[in-house]
Amino acid sequence: MYRLNMENNKFRALFEQAAVGVAEIDSYSGQFITINQKYCDIVGYSEEEMKTLSFQKLTHPDDIQEDLSNMKLLVEGEIREFSMEKRYFHKNGSLVWVKLTVSPLWSLGERPSRHIAVVEDITQKKQAEIALKESEEKYRQLVESTNDWIVEVDKEGKYVYTNPQVETILGYKPYELIGKTFMDLMTKEEAERVYEIFAGTIQELGKFERIENICLHKKGYEIVIETNGSPFFDSDGNLLGYRGINRDITERKKTLKMLDYLAYHDYLTGLPNRLLFNSKLQIAIEEARKKNQKIGILFIDLDKFKNINDTLGHQVGDELLQDISQKLISQIIEKAVLARLGGDEFILYSERVDSLQEINTLAQKILEIFLKPFTINDLELFVTVSIGISLYPEDGEDVHTLIKNADLAMYEAKAQGNNHIKLFEKEMSIRIQERMDLENRLRYAIERNELSIEYQAQINMVNNQLTGMEALLRWNNPRIGYIPPSKFIPIAEEMGFILNIGEWLIRTVCKQIVLWKNSGFTIPRISINISVKQIEQTNLVRIMKHISNEAGISLNCLELEITESVIMSQTEKNIATLDALRNLGLQLSVDDFGTGYSSLKYLKRLPIHKLKIDKSFVSDISKDSNGETIIRAIIALAKSLDLVLIAEGVETVEQANFLIGEGCILAQGFYYSFPLKPDHFFDRWINIKK
Ligand code: C2E
Ligand code: MG
Ligand code: MG
């Protein structure tokens, strides 16, 4: 029989000083019989207390079952020893993890009635293990719940792990990919391309960053993936494999592509925009330079497109532009690029042009599109175009010059009327420069005192009496010299300067009247030329009142010359303005009469007092019977409408005699007097009177 013999001192010391807990336990009751100090320390009870306890009492209920069944096997001799990890309750209520090893204390021929239990406190190790498990679980959850597709591959690149996200991104279940490589998920070409990049960046950076690759979804369509990852190694530094995070950037790519597209295309028509056109033309020019070829540039501008937008609305305008761009595209030859520059402007270049004839033919084809009406919402719309052409290298060697010159040619085409094509000529650019120069100088003409007024006498040809005078604007620029009104008035009208200039002129004339009055000169009516812009865009009635009040003169001494265009565009507003002016005492005359298309009907409605026969008819006298016939007709018309008549541009005695003979006795012209500076006018006419 072998029993734990506590009487043996050596054994006793070993038992007491052991680094592990050792206890003798009753096999049936589980009662502690002998316990060493370490055991007591582990569970927090004294030896005495321990002796009143059984292992079942100390054991955590979750572990008791395993413990008891082990004990049973042991007692029945099925096993010779068992070990398990289990939890005790410490006296203070906390849990203690122990590794328990139990073996029987045999008494020969008997079933063991005592067991020896050895326990090792593994609480710390266990807690660390639990923490590790918990954090592993956290990472697992993280890896599995992320939107990215996370993978681990072995050193041959075969997937050993992929998170479930792969199913959402590529349609595969994770297990379907195990053992495969990324190359199985791509086309052969893409796989080769990506492999090279992977290998290159790994070598260079030791990891892979932002590698874009196109994988195929299980259903076959393309998914753009961005891969970041790095290799991992064992403790000896041997490569084990790679871990990577793959992100589906298909949508992002699409958006970027879209933004890119929008930056270079016109949203309405889908045509390239100016930016794209310019850079393409740039490349085409470089090519043409090397190969000694020509490029033709067509600047295409729709005429009066604004009218369509204004009258039919932007919706119709937009649809029309789309339709036009479609038709333009259909005419475009393979080597040409068409773009919309915005608004109603299109531009096109054609490469490898052999001759001017070729580009002209293309322009003609485009023009033909506009000979037929466009149908938008059941509306038939006729649109005309103006096309300007420039050629590389003749008309410019860079993008900017070529486009600018085609644009200039287009303007000239427009000036010729609808549906015209015009080739660029060097003079156009000189003309435009001159015009811009004039514009700039005219802007400052008033404040720099460059404007003045000359007066031309209007006389009664029968008695040579001064009956009126016309104020004519003069512009002398120190640099350019004298610029005739026929040249600068249209610019002033277009630029809107005419409003200020017109007001300046009225004010200056009024001041002149006062000066002359003060010198004892009873002036007849002075007529002032009024631009249609002044009637339409300013409150002319208020201005006239204000200025005459300022000067202290009556408006009876002024006459306003309007053109037939005012009569033709007679809106109710214009008529009201003219009526109001007339009511202020002003007289109204129609200048250059006969050159416009004003009809009798229109004339009758307006408060007109006088017609001025245009000088072109007067100059026809004794040269062209048509002119004479027109003069007779105008005279008859004036009589029937009870209007005063005056002939402009009378230069010869023959003209004067003809007019007198026909019954027109008032005249203005070089034959009687040139337009004169105020002082000269005074000398000429007052002195004569004296
Ligand atoms: P307009 O109102 O018909 O003025 C008469 C033009 O005929 C003046 O030219 C005058 O110098 C010119 N003229 C007069 N007698 C003869 C003649 O016997 N033979 C020839 N060949 N010409 C003669 P000008 O001063 O060059 O003015 C040209 C046009 O400029 C004017 O034609 C008028 O339409 C416009 N204009 C002149 N001053 C003003 C102004 O203050 N405001 C506006 N809006 N237009 C003005
Ligand atoms: Mg006039
Ligand atoms: Mg005139």
Per residue in 388-402, pLDDT tens?
999 999 999 999 999
Q: What's the gap in Å between 434 CA and the centre of ligand 1?
A: 22
In DSSP terms, 611 is beta-bridged to: 590, 645
Mean pLDDT of the chain: 90
Tell whether omega for the bond before 524 is within 30 degrees of 0, i.e. cis.
no
Q: What's the gap in Å between 527 CA and the centre of ligand 2?
A: 8
Q: What's the gap in Å between 589 CA and the centre of ligand 1?
A: 14
Pocket test for ligand 1, best of 454, 648, 668, 677 (most atoms within 8 A of CB): 648
**Model confidence over 80-110: pLDDT tens digits?**
899 999 999 999 999 999 999 999 886 555 6
Q: Which two tokens stand for residue 238?
A: 């041997």
The phi, psi pair for 670, rounded to 5°, reads: -60, -25
Alpha helix locations (H) across 332-372?
356-369
159-162: strand order across its sheet? 159-162, 149-154, 239-248, 222-233, 208-216
- Got the DSSP string for 233-295? E-TT--EEEEEEEEEE-HHHHHHHHHHHHHHHB-TTT--B-HHHHHHHHHHHHHHHHHHT-EE
Cα separation values, 453 from 58, 362, 476, 508, Å: 123, 51, 11, 8
The answer to whether 262 touches 271, Cβ cutoff 8 Å, is no
Cα separation values, 576 from 277, 538, 582, Å: 50, 13, 10
pLDDT band at 311 (very low <50, low <70, confident <90, very high): confident
Whether ligand 1 lies within 6 angstroms of the CB of 577 is answered as: no
Question: What is the DSSP-derived secondary structure letter of residue 217?
Answer: P
Q: What's the gap in Å between 484 CA and the centre of ligand 2?
A: 14
381 versus 248: the higher-pLDDT residue is 248
Q: To the nearest 10°, report the CA torsion of 98, 103, 104, 105.
A: -90
**Model confidence over 636-663: pLDDT tens digits?**
999 988 999 999 999 999 999 999 999 9
**Model confidence over 284-305: pLDDT tens digits?**
999 999 999 999 999 999 988 8
Q: What's the gap in Å between 442 CA and the centre of ligand 3?
A: 22
pTM (two decimals): 0.54
Look-up of token digits 């390239």: 272
Nearest CA to ligand 1 atom 24: 485
pLDDT band at 569 (very low <50, low <70, confident <90, very high): low
120 versus 687: the higher-pLDDT residue is 120
Burial 126-154 (b: 16+ CB within 10 A, else e): beeeeeeeeeeeeeeeebeeeebbbbbbe
Cα separation values, 192 from 197, 211, 214, 509, Å: 9, 14, 12, 87
Whether ligand 1 lies within 6 angstroms of the CB of 676 is answered as: no
433 versus 319: the higher-pLDDT residue is 319
Query: In this model, does residue 596 exceed pLDDT 70?
Result: no
- Cα 243 to Cα 510: distance, rounded to the nearest angstrom: 92
How many residues appear in the chain?
690
Average pLDDT over residues 203-214: 90
The answer to whether 413 touches 366, Cβ cutoff 8 Å, is no
pLDDT band at 308 (very low <50, low <70, confident <90, very high): confident
**Model confidence over 66-80: pLDDT tens digits?**
999 999 998 888 888
Query: In this model, does residue 604 exceed pLDDT 90?
Result: no
Q: What number of other Cβ atoms are within 10 A of residue 184's Cβ?
A: 14
The answer to whether 183 touches 163, Cβ cutoff 8 Å, is no
Q: What number of other Cβ atoms are within 10 A of residue 563's Cβ?
A: 18
Nearest CA among 312, 389, 314, 311 for reference residue 350:
389
Whether ligand 1 lies within 6 angstroms of the CB of 675 is answered as: yes
Nearest CA among 427, 392, 422 for reference residue 407:
422
Q: What is the pLDDT of residue 2?
A: 44
Query: In this model, does residue 1 exceed pLDDT 50?
Result: no
Q: Which atom of ligand 1 is nearest to the CA of 456?
A: 14
Which residues 6+ apart lie within 8 Å of 300 measured at CB? Answer: 328, 345, 346, 347, 348, 366, 385, 386, 387, 410
Pocket test for ligand 1, best of 475, 529, 617, 618 (most atoms within 8 A of CB): 529
Pocket test for ligand 1, best of 451, 472, 653 (most atoms within 8 A of CB): 472
The answer to whether 624 touches 655, Cβ cutoff 8 Å, is no
Rounded to a whole number of angstroms, the CA Rg of the chain reads 53
- Cα 158 to Cα 183: distance, rounded to the nearest angstrom: 10
Nearest CA among 94, 116, 124 for reference residue 33:
116
SS (H, E, C) 518-586: HCCCCCCEEEEECCHHHHHHCCHHHHHHHHHHHHCCCHHHEEEEECHHHHHCCCHHHHHHHHHHHHCCC
Query: In this model, does residue 202 exceed pLDDT 90?
Result: no
Whether ligand 1 lies within 6 angstroms of the CB of 670 is answered as: yes
- Cα 500 to Cα 232: distance, rounded to the nearest angstrom: 81
- Cα 301 to Cα 484: distance, rounded to the nearest angstrom: 31
Which residues 6+ apart lie within 8 Å of 170 measured at CB? Answer: 149, 185, 215, 216, 217, 218, 223
User: Percentage of the chain surpassing pLDDT 70?
Assistant: 95
Q: What's the gap in Å between 628 CA and the centre of ligand 2?
A: 21
